A and B are shown apart, each in its own frame.
Chain A
Amino acid sequence: MDFTLSKEHEMARTLFREFAEKEVKPLAIEVDETEEFPRATVEKMAKAGFMGIPIPKEYGGQGCDVLTYAMCVEELAKVCGTTAVIVSAHTSLCCDPILTYGTEEQKQKYLPDLASGKKIGAFGLTEPGAGTDAQGQQTKAVLEGDEWVLNGSKIFITNGKEADVYVIFAITGMIEKRGRMTKEISAFIVEKGTPGFSFGTKEKKMGIRGSSTYELIFTDCRIPKENMLGQQGKGFGIAMHTLDGGRIGIAAQALGLGEGALERTIAYVKERKQFGRAIGAFQNTQFQLADMATKAQAAQFMVYKAACTKDQYTKDHKTSYNVEAAMAKLYAAEMAMEVTTKAVQLHGGYGYTREYEVERMMRDAKITEIYEGTSEVQRMVISSNLLK
């Protein structure tokens, strides 16, 4: 077992860090304050290839592994949680299911523009009555001639109004399963600008405030028959498998938030003086930092392990990574919440102000325990695997 990163990965980290420090960090406070989507940053990321890191070169991507992608999200999150989730939702929740389940025509049509960042991707599963209970969907798709007609709405959609390509889930019928009638769910690719597809309210959020979180509304929205993603009725499996991958992205985001808060706290406790000494000289501070660093390191190992396991899946299409992804997300998200909270505490009154970035990081961290499967859902995934 070798915990050393390859030279390629080390150089990639240098790239991501340099980009994050130079292009993302200076805007992080403004993005949070104004709640504006950082479009210019996304364009720069597109130019640098960050919007298609694990997409094969034949589809216009960078052809890198999932570990490289996770490191990118991690480094972005160290300075801006919003920017990190834009990349994560785009890559894991839109590009990945099209790559995994799309027909060759769909891959050729959508992936080059997504991987180059010319277009942004989003994913619509959640509905007002269907969060953790994804079976509670109400959005319907009915086949009429050569078109599917979508009716319903999706909420809390990351990259909502800014995206161009959406992977959307809808009920396409009822099927009997173990003697019970259950909803048959299918996945679709929907393009922005399709008549009948509009946007509802923008969410006002506690954190990741620059990410565009919108309601999507479908009113007799007609999409071509060939825009079904994967087989009819396989939507639930596609959603779950996609979220397994997405969790690695969110785990990496949480990891970066924790690490970023730790870095700022280390710098702060060396400077801040109380009772004639830097507060870093007090044992309480030292022990807090030791715990924060240890948990961040543990989270990093778990996130990288999950990423490498998904890489193995990419090669053999057999290796399961859902438990690793769930564990990484569960642990990294809870670490991020704990570490950012401690960071605010160690900053004292200043940490509670918006002048110091740990305040924003603490608000950003909370969502990582909720979206793409709450921590409770991760515990369900992990324990069901233990007890099967």
Chain B
Amino acid sequence: MKVVVCVKQVPDTKGGVKFNPDGTLDRAAMLTIMNPDDKAGLEAALRLKDQYGAEVTVVTMGLPKAEEVLREAIAMGADKGILVTDRVLGGADTWATSQTLAGALRNLEYDLIITGRQAIDGDTAQVGPQISEHLGIPVISYAQKIQIEGDSVIVERQYDDRYHVLKAKMPCLITALAELNEPRYMTPGGIFDAYKAEITTWGRADLKDVEDSNLGLKGSPTQIARASDKVRKGQGEKVTLDPSESVTYIMDKLKEKHVI
């Protein structure tokens, strides 16, 4: 069984957020961590390795510095790491990112692809499902439990108030929630092995069946109009009314703001 996990190096918000003049994140200047949903996805893959001897390959797209997140994954128990990095891939939105990752994944054999639900820096939850579309395989998103049965995967898909149980034939793609599991720690020996391991680096030329027009900033339909650090909310408005007047007042305000 072969499992590929897509992970992203994201800013560690504890260290503060920094921006480039064009509004994109200045990733090189920030402290980083492995995206929590992705880490849960990796843990799910490592459990499949423990249980079924699955081979776990970790793929990331990013700056050369993103290699660190692959070493972390190997220190946790992953077998191989692939870094997709190229200047022409920079500034990608979810569309261009999913195209890039799909281009990389076409070079690999897989039964399962696991991505995190969403990254804490963009919060779009689009990349995983888009990859599955590009590759023409089923997707089960928001996985809170994963089981293997023969050549199928049975997944509990989380909703606000319930979950669905879905079964899909492999190969398929799953997007994992941080709540899926408690990721294991790296081991000290694993860390030293991870730094001895060879990381495969792929550039634009290594991506399979992808048009240039779908890559990088130029291939990104989404443009960032403006970005800012957390905006402090204003004081708000305080009114003192009796209960029945309050209801009318709140309803009017919600209508005014087009909430209802």
Q: Do A and B come from one complex?
A: yes
The chain A residues found within 8 Å of chain B, CB to CB, are 6-8, 11-12, 15, 18-19, 47-50, 53, 57, 61-64, 68, 72
A8 in contact with B189 (CB, 8 Å): no
Distance between Cα atoms of A72 and B189 in the complex (Å): 12
Among B184, B185, B187, B192, point to the contact of A8 (Cβ < 8 A). B192
A63 to B68, CA, bound (A): 21
Give B63-84 interface residues, CB cut-off 8 Å to A.
Answer: 68, 71-72, 75
- List 6 other contacts, CB 8 Å, given A11-B68, A72-B188: A8-B191, A11-B191, A11-B194, A15-B186, A47-B185, A62-B188
Q: Cα distance A15–B191 when bound, in Å?
A: 9
Which of B184, B190, B191, B195 sits near A47, CB closer than 8 Å?
Answer: B184
Partner of B192, one of A18, A48, A64, A72: A64
Q: Smallest distance from the beta carbon of B194 to chain A beta carbons, Å?
A: 8
Contacts of A57 in B (CB 8 A): 189
Sample of 24 A–B contacts (CB below 8 Å): A7-B195, A8-B192, A11-B68, A11-B71, A11-B75, A12-B188, A15-B75, A15-B185, A15-B186, A18-B185, A19-B185, A48-B184, A48-B185, A49-B188, A49-B189, A49-B190, A50-B188, A53-B188, A62-B188, A62-B189, A63-B192, A64-B188, A68-B192, A72-B188
Query: Main SS of the interface on chain A?
Result: helix
What's the nearest-Cβ distance from chain A to residue B105, in Å? 27
- Residue ranges of B at the interface with A (Cβ–Cβ < 8 Å): 68, 71-72, 75, 184-192, 194-195
Complex-state Cα separation, A57 to B193, whole angstroms: 11
**For residue A19, which residue of chain B has the nearest CB?**
B185
Give chain A nearest CB distance to B184 CB in angstroms: 7
Bound complex: CA A19 to CA B182 (Å): 13
Docked pose: A72 CA to B185 CA in angstroms: 14
Determine the chain B residues whose CB is within 8 A of the CB of A53 once the complex forms.
188-189
A8 engages B195 (CB within 8 Å) = yes
- In the complex, the chain A residue whose C-beta lies closest to that of B195 is A8
Cα distance, A5 to B185, chains bound together (Å): 21
- Closest B residue, CB atoms, query A18: B185
CA distance A8 to B187 in the complex (A): 11
Nearest CB in chain A: distance from B230 CB, A: 22
- Residues of chain A within 8 A (CB-CB) of B189 are 49, 53, 57, 61-64
Are B188's CB and A15's CB within 8 A? Answer: yes
Cβ of A65 to closest chain B Cβ, rounded Å: 9
Chain B residues positioned under 8 Å from A7 (CB to CB): 195
**Which residues of A sit under 8 angstroms from B68, Cβ to Cβ?**
11
The chain B residue sitting closest to A10, CB to CB, is B191
A352–B190 Cα gap in the complex (Å)?
Answer: 42
- Nearest-CB distance from A60 to chain B (Å)? 10
Chain B residues whose CB sits within 8 angstroms of the CB of A48 once the complex forms = 184-187
Chain B residues positioned under 8 Å from A47 (CB to CB): 184-185
Q: Inside 8 A of A15's CB, which chain B residues have their CB?
A: 75, 185-186, 188, 191
Which residue, B75, B192, B195, has most C-beta atoms of chain A within 10 A? B192
In the complex formed, the residue of B with least CB distance to A45 is: B185
Smallest CB gap from A64: residue in B: B188
The answer, among A6, A11, A19, A62, for a CB contact under 8 Å with B72, is: A11
Give the interface centre of B75, B188, B192 by most chain A CB atoms within 10 Å: B188
In Å, the complex CA distance between A12 and B190 comes to: 10
Q: Closest CB-CB distance, B240 to chain A, in whole Å? A: 34
Which residue from chain B places its CB closest to the CB of A61 in the assembled complex? B189
| Contact A68:B188 (CB < 8 A) given known A11-B72, A11-B75 | yes
Q: Which residue of A lies closest to B196 (CB)?
A: A8
Which residues on B sit within 8 Å (CB–CB) of A18? 185
Nearest-Cβ distance from residue A45 to partner chain B, whole angstroms: 9
Q: Which chain A residues lie closer than 8 Å to B75 at the CB level?
A: 11, 15
Interface-central residue, B184, B190, B191, by most chain A CB under 10 Å: B191
A120 CB, min distance to chain B CBs, angstroms: 18
Q: Can you name the residue of chain B whose Cβ is closest to the Cβ of A56?
A: B189
Neighbouring B residues of A63 by C-beta, 8 Å: 189, 192
- Give the shortest distance, in Å, between A88 (CB) and chain B (any CB): 15
Distance from A94 Cβ to chain B, minimum over Cβ atoms (Å): 18
Bound: A171/B191 CA distance, A: 43
